[in-house]
Structure formats: C-alpha cells, structure tokens
Amino acid sequence: MRILTLSFLLTLCLTLKGQLRLPVVFDDHMVIQQQAIVPIWGWAHPSQDVSIKVSWDTTTVRTKAENGTFWKTAIRTPVAGGPHSITIRAGQDILTLRDVLSGEVWIASGQSNMEWSMQAAADGRPMIEHVNDPTIRLLNIPRSSAHTLQTRGEGEWTVCDRSTVGDFSAVAYFFGKKLNQNLNVPIGLINASWGGSPAEAWVPENVIRSNEALVESNGKLNADQPWAPVTPGVIFNSMINPLLPLRIAGAIWYQGEANVAAPDTYKKVMESLVNSWRQQFQSDLPFYYVQIAPYSGYDGEEGALLREQQVKMLEIPKTGMVVISDLVDDVTDIHPKYKKSVGERLADVALAKTYDRQGIVYLSPTYKSMTIEKNRIRIFFDHAPSGLRSNGGDPTEFLIAGDDQKFYPAKAKIDKATVIVSAKEVKNPVAVRFAWSNSSIPNLFSKEGLPVPSFRTDSWTPRK
C-alpha cells in the first residue's frame, strides 16, 4: 500500500511539472498596455490555485484554474516605463516574465504590403544596420490557419534592433518608430499578416456565414491559392484568436488587393471585421488602414471600386485612412517598394485621433458634393481647410460625362478648396470621375501635401 501511495505521489508530481503555461502574448521582453486593466490567462493543473505578483505593485492577484486547466484574471498596469517583471505561481510551477515594459501595444495586420519586411523594403533595408530601439518590442505571429479556434499561438517577443527588425513588417516598424519618438513611451508591435489573404479569412467564420451577401461575395474570390487560404475565419482562428482578449491600443491594417474580385461588399466585410475584433478584444479599439495603391493588374474597374469602398469605410466609427497614390513608382508592381511614409502617415492618424496631438495634418481631402454651373461642374471637398494644390500644372485624371454616361477627359482648375471641371465634348454635364482607373496616379493634393483619393459623383453600373 505504501509503495502504491509513493507511486501515486510520484506520478502526481510528474503530472504537475510543467503544467503552468501562457499564451504567446505573455513572454519576456513584452510590452503590456499602460494604465489599464489587462486580462492575463493561461493553463495550469486542473483546479489549481494560481497567484500573480507584479514588480510595480505589492498586490497579489489570485485565481483558480478550471477543471479543464484554463485560468484567467486581470492585472492593473502602471504608467509607461519599466523594465518590470511578472511572476506567476501555480503549485510548484513558477514562471517569471522579465524585461516587461509598460506602454502602447498595436496590432498590425493584413496581407503582403503589411507583411513586407524591412529587408524587402527599398527604404527599410539601408536602415537595418542602424536600428537600435530598446523601447520598441516586436512580436511576429507566424502564418498559420485552422478550421477550429486555436489558443496558445506561436511567436516570440524580441527587443527591436538590427538583429530582429529585418524580418519584421516595415510599415509596422515605421509606424511604431514614429509613435515611440513622439509619445516617448515603449511601443509593442504585433505583426499578424499574410500575403494574398482576403479579409474574410480574418473574420470569425460565423460572422461571415450569417450574412448572405458576404457568403456570396466570398464565393467570387479566387479559390485557395498555393500562398493563402480564402475560407472565412481560418486565419482568425489561428493568428488572432490566440491574442484574445489582450488589451491593445489599436490596430493598423493594409489589405484589399485580394478582395478586388468582389469590391462592392468590401465595406460590409471590413465593418464585420472591425466590429468582431472590437467585440473579441473587448475594446472599442481604433482601426486605421491604408487605401490600396494604384496597380495596373486588376480587371476592369476593380481597383477603383475597392478604393471607393475603402473611402466609405470612414463611416465606421473610430477609423482612419491613409492614401498612398503618390508613393508608387511602378504601377505594374502590386507591392510599392517604399514603406516609410506609409507607416508614418498611419502614425500621424494615430497621434492625432488616438493620442490627441495637435497640429498634425492627417486627413486626405475627400469628395463631398458637386454643383452644376452651366457647362461645368464644381467639386467640393471635405478636409481641405487650407485649400488644394496640384503638382506639375493643372489637376489631372478628371473625367466628365452627360446623361449619355460617356466620359471624356476633362480640364480641371483649382479654385481655393474646390475644383472646376469641364470638357468641350460635354455641354450639359451631370457627373465627374477622378482617378477612376486601377493605375491612376493623380497630382491633386491638399495644401499640406496629402493626396486626394479617387472618387466618382455617379453610381452608374460599370460598362462591360
């Protein structure tokens, strides 16, 4: 009997050893969202008591694992700074997270233009050897998909320096660098992106399946390619769900190229993504995104139509868009080579909208309304308080049409914060389009230098 008891205790000890585990987001060198109630969770032995001590406070937080081993609680985080430590104990198991900073945590997601690394970026590669940012921390989530929700996740927090930044998202790094410099707080960047992935794969499957229009539009996308899946929810399951419900400051997003085959519902898809992420992260998180760049490889008007949907996404609360039509040097390449200005424009949106920094111009002028003035049309814009300017002469890429819906190249003149458009072929104009081709690179900007995105004043069905 004594031998059996000793054998049982030995087995129990072996069973208990190594049971304390954490998801990928909790690790050495992490950044934890400052001055917040931050959920923390993991796994221990079934029904085991779990205690958490943090170096910035004397309080011990206690919780208990479920009979299925999962436990969850929350800690109150300090003002920006560090390094700190977090010690978690469950029975004889002890995990101590070291070199933890308190600051601002952002997730960067989307497809290849977000995934595009510093090593691959024309303006990132020359900088790598000079990168030494100890208060910026990086977490790369490897590509993976699953048909069921995953929990622990994969990846590793690293200190941002020349040995770690090369494989990290260039857009995310330049975004985080500008926040770090302007806010003077630690920045945590989580890169969860996958080249060629459609938006639906990043949305919980049930959200897409419950909307007939989204199911139909998803069916118009290309079947699974060798480089990425298109099935709703499969990337969310594996690359986003393990992060939930981490407290974060917000999200940046660069995606849309994989959705051009079904542009008309892109706003609905993205509204579903934004709302579901906010629900899952348990926060009304800001969501700032990049409008897709000019590219000649799309069919018909697909690129212009999707960009139109991205402008409409601004109707979603707490969103912001950056336009990058002026940052493209080759419209035959779907990957613009330069990423620094992209990341910095996203940072300007965050600095102005999330962190209330004053004096930052971050909004591109967008189409507001039009009036017909005899044989010409006057276009009015939002977000052009200082007026408009064009580079290299009068504004280009304007078209004008009458009731016959035939568009002709138009002459355009800037009049303060408006543009007057006309063409000798159109005596009674009713509609204007601007930069309305997949590869248009127009020359119209705000006085401060932000490009005007493509638009149309009509809603006519594209001609076949």
Spatial separation of the C-alpha atoms in residues 412 and 337, rounded to whole Å:
31
Q: Are 34 and 11 in contact (CB under 8 A)?
A: no
* CA nearest to 114, candidates 239, 212, 261, 262: 239
Q: Does domain 103-353 have CATH number 3.40.50.1110?
A: yes
> What is the mean pLDDT, run by run of 10 residues, along the chain of 464 residues?
47 60 98 98 97 96 97 98 98 97 98 98 97 98 97 97 98 98 98 97 96 88 81 97 98 97 96 98 97 96 97 98 96 97 98 97 97 97 96 95 97 97 97 97 97 97 68
The dihedrals phi and psi of 237, each to the nearest 5 degrees, come to: -55, -40
Spatial separation of the C-alpha atoms in residues 17 and 51, rounded to whole Å:
17
Pairing of strands 132-140, 187-193: parallel
What does the pLDDT read at residue 5? 46
First to last CA, the chain: 86
Spatial separation of the C-alpha atoms in residues 53 and 32, rounded to whole Å:
15
The dihedrals phi and psi of 207, each to the nearest 5 degrees, come to: -65, -40
R_g of the chain, CA atoms, integer Å: 25
H/E run at residue 11: helix 2-16
User: What does the CA dihedral 116, 118, 124, 126 come to, rounded to 10 degrees?
Assistant: -140
What does the pLDDT read at residue 224? 66
Return the structure tokens found at 59: 């309080």
Spatial separation of the C-alpha atoms in residues 149 and 280, rounded to whole Å:
13
DSSP 315-378: GSTTEEEE--GGG-S-TT-SS-S--HHHHHHHHHHHHHHTS--TT---PPPEEEEEEEETTEEE
CATH architecture of 17-101: Sandwich (2.60)
Domain locations in the chain as residue ranges: 17-101, 103-353, 366-456
Per DSSP, what are the bridge partners of residue 95? 88
Return the structure tokens found at 208: 């897409």
H/E run at residue 6: helix 2-16
User: What does the CA dihedral 355, 359, 361, 365 come to, rounded to 10 degrees?
Assistant: 110
